[in-house]
């Protein structure tokens, strides 16, 4: 294994990393939690500290610390390595220069180095930009008086690190360069734009926001700042790192949008980040619910008035990404919407989404023309809290907005809860629907079942992604699973099994592939520890088994990894009777294979082959009979 990867695995515990994403509870030797890769109510996601692997027995996804980060955070392998190396305090640059030629190929080429460094570089650039914008604010009288007009106090401005981007062509760019960032890195941040020569008048987004006449003249690098003359709202991730900015224009110009966001990047996905969650998370957990407002100013004002559990999506409609992040802290939300038609439609659309995420929601339509920001300023915290207590359950909300057609509201609700993974929430909603609509509950449940059955039919194709993970594993015969379990969990037998087995008797290509790889690794470890002592002393302890599995996972495909982690955490072999188990499986598989050959020899009429096959078969079955007789 690559020494850096090895080093990371020694220094970082997979349980610590996964616990940052999943709530884990001890379960015997392992930890258990709700799977982050599929929606479930009872935990089937297991983490093994002794083997440093995870496996979900619901969707059958499994792997090591690297595959976990790759799947849950969308990192590439290189990014996962550099992220974990940083956490473990391993210096990649030094290592890549002093490593063996093989490792240098792994990390040392310019491209991969730049790539793995990009994320860290972006964090640093955004942090420096935050400081720059925040310092600018002191000197912009216009922005400060705007903030005062909006009623923001000094403490709030500091708490949300608000800032100002100057009305200049490239002041941020020059500042970042003076801090030693390379032009390439600054370009990658999205905080500057290259000028497109062919269409200077149609430049995107923030370009026309500048006060410069006639579009923008770029500097000698062909670059100008993306945000100019805007009040800057830094956007933080859950770890409190600034990953993007929102900017509100200060001197409105024709064609310039009022608000713009920095573009999506490898550290920022608009649909995943919730504004204010880094500040609000503790309060959300304490209060037991999150307030989801519509804009930055609503969030900021709520916090200023002591309502510290308020967050907002970033200029987009609510997404599952937002809700998943919020759900880490609470599974209840209060959705604040405008009281107008657009707000009502948006609230209606959100219902299906919150139910699908298993979140219990209440809806708070604002009085016409008001938002939390204006309401708080006019009437204060006490009034706002009283107003919050008038929030409606989804059932009440739907019945109220469609007072002319009760049945439409009922059907909309039944459809909205279809994908809800929380049976109690579903049940409670139907019960409430019956009570409030005065429709017989049994009739509602019947209708719900009918809607569900209708919805399931066209959906059966959509289920495939989960099944495609499941199928290659579920199709494996028990005998092959036992053999593979033995090869993985009793590594002192790995070499024996993988070398003595005739690959032809293994039907499942995944199992065949893994055994092939076991052979390489088990062979290598015997060579390393010495042939004589290798089998007996080399691979017996738990640590040795862990290293063996780590080495194996490192060279396996993701389907193969899923199977290995499943059998490592839940071996299909009784270790006390391992030898008997292995022998039995080998015989059964050989027999199955001979029978297949007999069938084809019969079809082709190859008498000579048929005879020899029948003798082989007799030898094996005779052996089985003899053994079972001896046992009796």
Contact positions toward Zn ion, by CB under 5 A?
Answer: 35, 37-38, 56, 58-59
Q: How far apart are CA 212 and CA 476, in angstroms?
A: 68
Q: How far apart are CA 209 and CA 227, in angstroms?
A: 8
Q: Supply the minimum distance, in Å, between the C-beta of residue 35 and Zn ion.
A: 3
Six-digit token pair at 331?
Answer: 């599974």
Q: How far apart are CA 288 and CA 333, in angstroms?
A: 9
Q: How far apart are CA 394 and CA 627, in angstroms?
A: 67
Q: Supply the minimum distance, in Å, between the C-beta of residue 56 and Zn ion.
A: 3
Contact yes or no for 237/278 (Cβ under 8 A): yes
- Smaller CB separation from Zn ion, 38 or 150: 38
Q: Is the dihedral of CA 13, 18, 19, 25 positive or negative?
A: negative
- Smaller CB separation from Zn ion, 38 or 445: 38
Q: Supply the minimum distance, in Å, between the C-beta of residue 50 and Zn ion.
A: 21
> Is residue 484 exposed (0-12), middle (13-18) or buried (19+ Cβ within 10 Å)?
buried
Q: Supply the minimum distance, in Å, between the C-beta of residue 14 and Zn ion.
A: 16
- Smaller CB separation from Zn ion, 38 or 115: 38
Q: Supply the minimum distance, in Å, between the C-beta of residue 46 and Zn ion.
A: 10
Q: How far apart are CA 238 and CA 281, in angstroms?
A: 8
Counting every residue written for the chain, the total comes to 632
What is the pairing mode between strands 25-27 and 163-165? unpaired
Q: How far apart are CA 202 and CA 197, in angstroms?
A: 10
Q: Supply the minimum distance, in Å, between the C-beta of residue 473 and Zn ion.
A: 13
DSSP conformation letters of 381-447: HHHHHHHHTT-B-HHHHHHHHTTT-HHHHHHHHHHHTTT---HHHHHHHHHHHHHHHT--HHHHHHH
- Smaller CB separation from Zn ion, 37 or 329: 37
- Smaller CB separation from Zn ion, 59 or 311: 59
- Smaller CB separation from Zn ion, 72 or 219: 72
Q: How far apart are CA 38 and CA 228, in angstroms?
A: 42
Q: Supply the minimum distance, in Å, between the C-beta of residue 356 and Zn ion.
A: 16
Six-digit token pair at 161?
Answer: 């690190």
Annotate 514-526 with three-state secondary structure. HHHHHHHHHHHHH
Q: Supply the minimum distance, in Å, between the C-beta of residue 43 and Zn ion.
A: 10
Contact yes or no for 234/130 (Cβ under 8 A): yes
Q: How far apart are CA 373 and CA 390, in angstroms?
A: 18
Q: Supply the minimum distance, in Å, between the C-beta of residue 247 and Zn ion.
A: 39
Q: Which of these, 65, 81, 52, lies nearest to 17 by C-alpha position?
A: 65
Q: Is the dihedral of CA 92, 97, 100, 104 positive or negative?
A: positive
- Smaller CB separation from Zn ion, 238 or 466: 466
Q: Supply the minimum distance, in Å, between the C-beta of residue 278 and Zn ion.
A: 27
- Smaller CB separation from Zn ion, 25 or 254: 25
- Smaller CB separation from Zn ion, 399 or 473: 473
- Smaller CB separation from Zn ion, 465 or 509: 465
Q: How far apart are CA 377 and CA 305, in angstroms?
A: 9
Q: Supply the minimum distance, in Å, between the C-beta of residue 452 and Zn ion.
A: 22
- Smaller CB separation from Zn ion, 38 or 104: 38
């Amino acid at each position: 294994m690559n020494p850096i990867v090895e080093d990371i695995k020694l220094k970082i515990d997979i349980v610590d990393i996964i616990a940052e994403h999943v709530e884990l509870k001890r379960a015997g030797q392992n930890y258990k939690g709700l799977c982050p890769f599929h929606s479930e109510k009872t935990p089937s996601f297991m983490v093994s500290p002794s083997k440093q692997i995870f496996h979900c027995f619901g969707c059958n996804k499994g792997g090591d610390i690297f595959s976990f980060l790759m799947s849950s955070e969308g990192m590439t392998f290189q990014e996962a390595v550099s992220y974990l190396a940083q956490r473990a305090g391993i210096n990649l640059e030094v290592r890549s220069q002093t490593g063996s030629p093989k490792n240098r190929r792994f990390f040392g080429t310019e491209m991969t180095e730049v790539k793995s460094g990009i994320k860290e570089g972006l964090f640093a650039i955004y942090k420096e930009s935050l400081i720059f914008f925040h310092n600018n604010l002191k000197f912009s009288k216009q922005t400060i008086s705007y903030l005062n007009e909006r009623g923001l106090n000094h403490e709030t401005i500091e708490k949300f690190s608000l800032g100002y981007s100057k009305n200049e062509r490239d002041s941020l760019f020059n500042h970042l360069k003076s801090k030693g960032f390379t032009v390439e890195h600054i370009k990658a941040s999205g905080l500057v734009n290259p000028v497109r020569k062919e269409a200077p008048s149609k430049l995107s987004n923030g370009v026309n926001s500048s006060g410069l006449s006639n579009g923008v003249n770029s500097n000698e690098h062909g670059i100008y700042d993306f945000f100019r003359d805007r009040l800057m709202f830094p956007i933080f991730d859950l770890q409190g790192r600034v990953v993007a900015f929102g900017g509100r224009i200060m001197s409105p110009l024709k064609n310039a949008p009022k608000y713009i966001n920095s573009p999506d990047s490898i550290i920022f996905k608009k649909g995943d980040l919730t504004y204010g969650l880094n500040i609000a998370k503790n309060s959300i957990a304490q209060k037991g619910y999150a307030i989801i407002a519509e804009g930055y100013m609503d969030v900021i004002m709520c916090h200023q008035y002591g309502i510290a559990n308020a967050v907002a999506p970033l200029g987009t409609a609510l997404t599952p990404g937002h809700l998943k992040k919020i759900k880490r802290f609470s599974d209840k939300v209060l959705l604040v919407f405008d009281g107008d038609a657009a707000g009502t439609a948006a609230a209606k659309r959100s219902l299906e989404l919150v139910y699908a995420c298993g979140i219990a929601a209440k809806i708070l339509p604002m009085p016409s023309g008001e938002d939390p920001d204006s309401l708080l300023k006019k009437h204060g915290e006490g009034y706002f809290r009283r107003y919050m207590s008038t929030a409606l359950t989804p059932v009440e909300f739907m019945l109220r907005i469609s007072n002319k057609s009760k049945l439409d509201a009922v059907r909309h609700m039944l459809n909205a809860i279809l994908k809800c993974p929380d049976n109690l929430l579903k049940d409670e909603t139907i019960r409430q629907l019956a009570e409030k609509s005065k429709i017989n509950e049994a009739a509602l449940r019947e209708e719900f079942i009918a809607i569900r059955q209708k919805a399931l039919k066209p959906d059966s194709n959509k289920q495939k992604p989960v099944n495609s993970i499941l199928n290659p594993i579920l199709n494996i015969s028990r005998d092959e699973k036992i053999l593979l379990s033995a090869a993985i969990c009793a590594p002192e037998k790995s070499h024996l099994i993988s070398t003595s087995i005739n690959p032809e008797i293994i039907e499942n290509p995944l199992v065949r592939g893994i055994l092939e790889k076991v052979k390489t690794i088990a062979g290598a470890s015997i060579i390393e520890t010495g042939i004589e002592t290798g089998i007996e002393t080399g691979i017996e302890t738990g640590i040795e088994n862990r290293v063996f599995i780590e080495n194996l996972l490192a060279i396996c495909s993701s389907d193969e990894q899923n199977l290995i982690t499943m059998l490592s955490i839940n071996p299909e072999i009784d270790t006390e009777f391992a030898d008997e188990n292995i022998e039995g499986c080998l015989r059964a598989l050989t027999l199955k294979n001979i029978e297949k050959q007999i069938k084809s020899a019969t079809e082709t009429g190859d008498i000579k082959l048929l005879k020899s096959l029948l003798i082989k078969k007799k030898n094996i079955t005779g052996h089985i009979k003899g053994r079972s007789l001896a046992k009796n």
